[in-house]
């Protein structure tokens, strides 16, 4: 079964449910010409939108928020069919996160984008400030795991900043973007300012090549490098979020009840198809024998099924056959290298792309499943004997998006967190900052460049322009202007000693 067949030169993307194979809908595939036309429409529409005051843009975006709220059921049902998401996850991960992001930036955009004065240390007779102006046309190339939250979270921020925006959704989840785009336009966003183009990777490449002014990409490291290369050749600023291999460190003083529940959700939410999923569970040997068997029992109790048919589902399907094959191969490789399957470890027979929620024990660093992003309902477990060993394992990966630390000591948790190379480290919780629009979302190492969300993310969607002006306009000339005269050199030397020497007495030396 396949959700979209990349090898067929069909004029449309036909979307089938990953849970049962039923036809869900289709969209036309864009051509390079239609992509360029979309960029041209966006460029024509942007100046009028960007000329509106921030308060006016925020008022329209609040109408968008209300419209999303009113269409909650439509968004959730589509997510269950197109993406296989349990309705709880569609409601919380795809709807609530958008409502919260819009609420935050509607309240804070005027503050975030207000001109920022720069206190000048030397040029006291002048003044400077930074003002933030829209970049123009923003491209959001979004993934299939959170097509609403990630695709239109970036779109909303671009609009708050005064840009027009074009969303290129994954070829596996284009229907979500069609719904959200319609909602945005009906709520009052100009049609040219919010557009969607559909297709495979070549359509994303065509979008970058069409002359956009900013790119936000979420996806694999390999594709992210290609996007970065294209942006670099065209000097287009970009933000790249390229996935993670998040470790969860359960220390010897952890609250085991909270840790168990957090690891369960952090490892298997969205069938493990989250860039922030727990993909390495590192457990201190002092609590290992209590923690791991209890986790296995909780994982066995998870209900796997078709969310479009029932709301009593915890874990849905993998989104496509390729991802199911990747998960199967990584688990099989780990078992061949000595890992033990505590539960799961196999595909679920029948319709749909389901993999049984899996816990792997006795995992070692040479196993691929501890080094490559799994993106499935699998948690590999390692036992460590010390805090230092746990930190070493956390930092071993080439990826560094999120990490988690579980300990009853707040001071210890923060101390460990500050030693882990990850864009975000959470203490005694998992994933949740993805819904906190005020916090930055981004990684280090090969997990990406730049951040989404937060004040920084909104400002990055603007050009930061510097203005310097005369605070004392009565001066006829500056000291360093022409003409250069020999008699001024001693004065300049004394001025340098006064400013940067050890004492003001250098200004008037004896003798």
Which are the catalytic amino acids? Answer: 241, 275
Whole-number Å distance between alpha carbons of 298 and 292: 10
State both tokens at 290.
């209590």
Cis peptide before 436 (omega within 30 of 0): no
Alpha helices by DSSP H, 71-199: 72-78, 87-89, 97-112, 149-160, 174-187
Angle subtended at Cα 337 by Cα 250 and Cα 220, rounded to the nearest 5 degrees: 65
Whole-number Å distance between alpha carbons of 389 and 282: 9
Distances (CA, A) of 48 to 42, 65, 140, 399, 402: 11, 21, 21, 41, 39
Locate the DSSP E strands across 373-440: 378-384, 399-400, 402-406, 424-427
Q: Per this entry, what is the length of the chain?
A: 511
Whole-number Å distance between alpha carbons of 253 and 417: 15
Whole-number Å distance between alpha carbons of 353 and 384: 34
Alpha helices by DSSP H, 301-417: 321-336, 387-394, 410-417
Closest C-alpha among 40, 45, 5 to residue 26: 5
Burial class (CB in 10 A: 0-12, 13-18, 19+), 489: exposed
Whole-number Å distance between alpha carbons of 194 and 42: 8
| 450 alpha-carbon distance from chain centroid | 10
State both tokens at 365.
């660093």
**Residue tagged 């979008």 (tokens):** 207
State both tokens at 349.
């027979």
């Amino acid at each position: 079964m396949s959700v979209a067949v990349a090898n067929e030169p069909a004029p449309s993307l036909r979307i089938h449910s990953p849970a049962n194979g039923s036809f869900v809908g289709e969209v036309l595939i864009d051509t390079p010409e239609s992509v360029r036309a979309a960029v041209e429409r966006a460029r024509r529409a942007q100046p009028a939108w960007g000329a509106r005051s921030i308060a006016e843009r925020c008022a329209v975006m609040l109408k968008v928020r209300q419209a999303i709220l009113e269409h909650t059921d439509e968004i959730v049902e589509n997510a269950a069919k197109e993406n296989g998401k349990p309705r709880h996850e569609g409601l919380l991960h795809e709807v609530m996160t958008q409502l919260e992001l819009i609420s935050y930036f509607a309240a804070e955009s005027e503050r975030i984008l207000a001109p920022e004065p720069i206190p000048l240390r030397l040029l006291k007779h002048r003044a400077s400030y930074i003002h933030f102006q829209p970049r123009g046309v923003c491209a959001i190339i979004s993934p299939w795991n959170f097509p609403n939250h990630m695709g239109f979270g970036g779109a909303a921020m671009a609009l708050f900043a005064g840009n027009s925006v074009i969303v290129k959704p994954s070829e596996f989840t284009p229907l979500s973007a069609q719904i959200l785009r319609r909602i945005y336009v009906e709520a009052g966003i100009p049609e040219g300012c919010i557009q969607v183009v559909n297709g495979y990777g070549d359509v994303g490449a065509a979008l970058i090549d069409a002359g956009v002014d900013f790119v936000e990409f979420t996806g694999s490291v390999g594709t992210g490098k290609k996007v970065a290369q294209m942006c670099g050749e065209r000097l287009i600023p970009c933000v790249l979020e390229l996935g993670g291999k998040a470790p969860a460190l359960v220390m010897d003083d952890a609250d085991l009840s909270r840790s168990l529940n957090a690891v369960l959700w952090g490892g298997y939410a969205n069938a493990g198809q989250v860039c922030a999923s727990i993909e390495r569970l590192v457990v201190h040997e002092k609590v290992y024998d209590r923690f791991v068997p209890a986790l296995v029992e909780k994982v066995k109790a998870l209900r796997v099924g078709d969310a479009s048919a029932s709301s009593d589902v915890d874990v849905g399907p993998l989104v496509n056959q390729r991802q199911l094959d990747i998960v199967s191969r990584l688990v099989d490789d780990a078992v061949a290298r000595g890992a033990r399957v505590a539960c799961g470890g196999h595909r679920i027979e029948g319709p749909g792309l389901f993999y049984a929620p899996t816990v792997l024990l006795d995992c070692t660093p040479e196993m691929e499943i501890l080094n490559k992003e799994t993106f499935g309902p699998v948690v590999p477990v390692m036992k460590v004997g010390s805090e230092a060993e746990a930190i070493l394992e956390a930092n071993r990966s080439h990826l560094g998006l999120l990490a988690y630390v579980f300990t009853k000591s707040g001071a210890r948790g923060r101390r460990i967190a500050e030693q882990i190379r990850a864009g975000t480290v959470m203490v005694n919780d998992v994933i949740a900052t993805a819904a906190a629009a005020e916090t930055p979302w981004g990684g280090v190492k090969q997990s990406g460049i730049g951040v989404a969300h937060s004040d920084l993310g909104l400002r990055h969607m603007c050009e930061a322009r510097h203005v310097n002006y005369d605070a004392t306009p009565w001066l006829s000339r500056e000291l360093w202007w022409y003409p250069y005269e020999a008699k001024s050199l001693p004065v300049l030397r004394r001025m340098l000693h006064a400013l940067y020497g050890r004492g003001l007495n250098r200004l008037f030396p004896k003798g």
